[in-house]
Amino acid sequence: MNFFKKALVATAVVASFGASAATVSSTALQLSAEGIADGLSADDQTLVFDVVVGVDTPASSTITLTFDNTIDLAGVLTGPVLNDPNTGVGTVGVANDANAVQFDYGTGSFTFDNVVVTNNDQSLGEQDTLSFEVNLGNALTAGSAFRITLGDTTLLGNGGNGGEVDITGAANLAYQSVAASGSVIENGAGVVAEETAQFAFSVSSPYAKLIDRTIRDEFTDGGVATETAVLSYTNNGNNLAAALVDPAVSIVIDGNWDGLVTTADFAVLTAAATGADAIDTVLTGLAGFGDTSAAVNSDDDSDELTITLAAVNTSLGGATVISLPFKNITDVAIPVTGDLKATATIIAANGSTDPIVVAANVAAGEWKIDATIINVPYFPVGYTGVQSTVILANEGATATDVIITAIDQNGTEYGPVNLNTATAFSSDLPAKTVSKVSDVLLMDLLGAPASTKLSVTFNIDANEGVVNGYAYTQKDGTGRSEVSTSQQHGK
């Protein structure tokens, strides 16, 4: 046979094999992905799966099922099959026992015998197998189907305690039938266990209000500043094997909470379960701000607001909705938070002591000032031979109100002060004009002493892009040096 003819024959064999592969299907046992990752296993499970053969499989053939090394068949029985032609069922052992093997033939005329379970060492990556023979005189024709149950036959379809199968992760099985002569008849594969997330966390309603630029302890909607964020935590452990149980939940919201010195601002904290079952204990309250105390410990973006949930039933299949209302009862200036990020972790009673991250850096909103903010982070004032200048270009059709604040190298805070208190800007920042704000003018407005390094912030009552800033310093006899600025828009 020449090479071309051999290639045609090989192609035909491959096509025939692909078209006739046995089909293995099951309602895969659902495992907790977090539980498996934390080292838990689903012990004493029942596995159920169906097989449809693709080609005729003669009597005396041997069928072998090879399981992934995440499945341990230790305890599953080996031996002859007791077949009952009246019920179409064959059993190794006693039906409904944990270690039984049961075949359901349906209306098929075939039966099986001589079940052999080979139990290997999963820790070495070895795989367990289960093999059986097609009884003499009872061939399987193409399209024949049968069901195999390993364990308690009353737990058909979804797995569960009542078997002798231990599972440590997602698992497939491979099917192969071999004729008495030793030639392979067909192969197949199927999924018997898969991992799915047990926990979920989201922010369905983030903080989003704007801070009044002139009354900094209120939002722009006026009155006592209030806003509620809504968080959602879900534990689906009741539907999963190898589930983590009684998890204590911690939700940390990072951002700039500077100035909120008491958790009383968040005292009215509620949680409600929307699932079929209630939770054991709803809330243990707020752990407070900062890493070590109930007070804000810095003015950067490392502050933390922590919410804790007591152990939550694994039977809770729905979401626990957490309302986090802010009410500025202490009348402090509401901080410009920057992007708030929420991270949820759990520590379960049957898991490791290391927190398991459910979701990290989930967007939780932010509070911004209702203005355009231009910051000049380095602005030296009152140095001999050095002039510092900020150019503000108002391209809008109306004069604009500007409020100025600053800090210096010693941590001293200046302002807020309105630019219109300066004679040159008594009518606010003029429309359609490029205006110069000098270091001398700022020293006068803020009361800053000579030889001071300022970080100056301009709060501008204008929409994005209407007012822009450019800053520079200049030494006598030299050219200008640009100073970088940053701009944030609140409106």
pLDDT per residue as tens, the chain (491 positions): 443 333 333 333 333 344 468 999 988 999 999 999 999 999 999 999 999 999 999 999 999 999 999 999 999 999 999 999 889 999 999 888 899 999 999 888 999 999 999 999 988 999 999 999 999 888 999 999 999 999 987 755 444 567 899 999 999 999 999 999 999 999 999 999 999 999 999 999 999 999 887 788 889 888 788 888 888 888 888 889 999 988 888 888 888 887 765 556 665 455 555 543 333 333 444 444 433 233 333 334 456 777 777 666 545 566 777 777 787 877 888 888 889 999 999 999 999 999 999 999 999 999 988 878 899 999 999 999 999 999 999 999 999 999 999 999 999 999 899 999 999 999 999 999 999 999 999 999 999 999 999 999 998 988 778 999 999 999 887 878 888 777 655 55
Q: What's the predicted TM-score (pTM) here? A: 0.73
The segment(s) of the chain belonging to CATH 2.60.40 are 3-196, 199-368
Determine the Cα–Cα distance for residues 282 and 399; give it in Å rounded to an integer. Answer: 53
What topology does CATH give the domain 199-368? Immunoglobulin-like (2.60.40)
Do 171 and 131 form a contact (C-beta atoms < 8 A)? no
Which residues touch 198 (CB under 8 Å, ≥6 apart)? 32, 33, 34, 35, 235, 236, 237, 240, 243, 244
Taking alpha carbons only, the member of 307, 467, 448 closest to residue 396 is: 467
Residue owning tokens 């901080």: 335
For 306-328, give one letter per residue: b (16+ CB within 10 A) or e: bbebebbbbbbbebbbbebebeb
The segment(s) of the chain belonging to CATH 2.60.290.11 are 372-489
The DSSP H or E segment spanning 187 is strand 184-196
Strand ranges for 247-401 from DSSP E? 248-255, 270-273, 285-289, 303-309, 319-327, 341-347, 356-363, 368-369, 372-381, 386-394
Q: 112 pairs with which residues across the strands?
A: 134
Determine the Cα–Cα distance for residues 179 and 43; give it in Å rounded to an integer. Answer: 35
Residue owning tokens 């982070």: 377
Per-residue pLDDT at 199: 93
Q: Show the tokens assigned to 113.
A: 């015998």
Q: Show the tokens assigned to 299.
A: 């003015």
Give whole-number Cα distances, 108 to 21, 42, 52, 89, 142, in Å. 19, 33, 12, 10, 12
For 60-82, give one letter per residue: b (16+ CB within 10 A) or e: ebbbebbbbbbbbbebbbbeebe
Long-range contacts of range 90-96, CB-CB < 8 Å, 24 or more positions apart? 95/153, 96/152, 96/153, 96/154
Per-residue pLDDT at 341: 93
Per-residue pLDDT at 263: 56
Neighbours of 363 (CB within 10 A): 12
Four-point Cα dihedral 325, 326, 328, 330, nearest 10: 90
Residue owning tokens 């979920």: 200
Per-residue pLDDT at 69: 95
Residue owning tokens 């004032």: 381
CATH class of 372-489: mainly beta
Per-residue pLDDT at 308: 76
Give whole-number Cα distances, 110 to 24, 84, 178, 232, 349, in Å. 18, 12, 16, 53, 49
Do 436 and 425 form a contact (C-beta atoms < 8 A)? no
Do 318 and 234 form a contact (C-beta atoms < 8 A)? yes
Q: 375 pairs with which residues across the strands?
A: 457, 486
Residue owning tokens 């150019």: 391
Taking alpha carbons only, the member of 132, 119, 23 closest to residue 71 is: 119
Determine the Cα–Cα distance for residues 354 and 347; give it in Å rounded to an integer. Answer: 7
Give whole-number Cα distances, 308 to 12, 287, 343, in Å. 64, 7, 12
Assigned CATH for 3-196: 2.60.40
Neighbours of 276 (CB within 10 A): 10
Q: What angle do CA 24, 28, 34 make, to 5 degrees?
A: 140
Check residue 469 and report its DSSP letter.
Answer: E
Taking alpha carbons only, the member of 28, 61, 338, 342 closest to residue 194 is: 28
Q: Show the tokens assigned to 368.
A: 């911004």
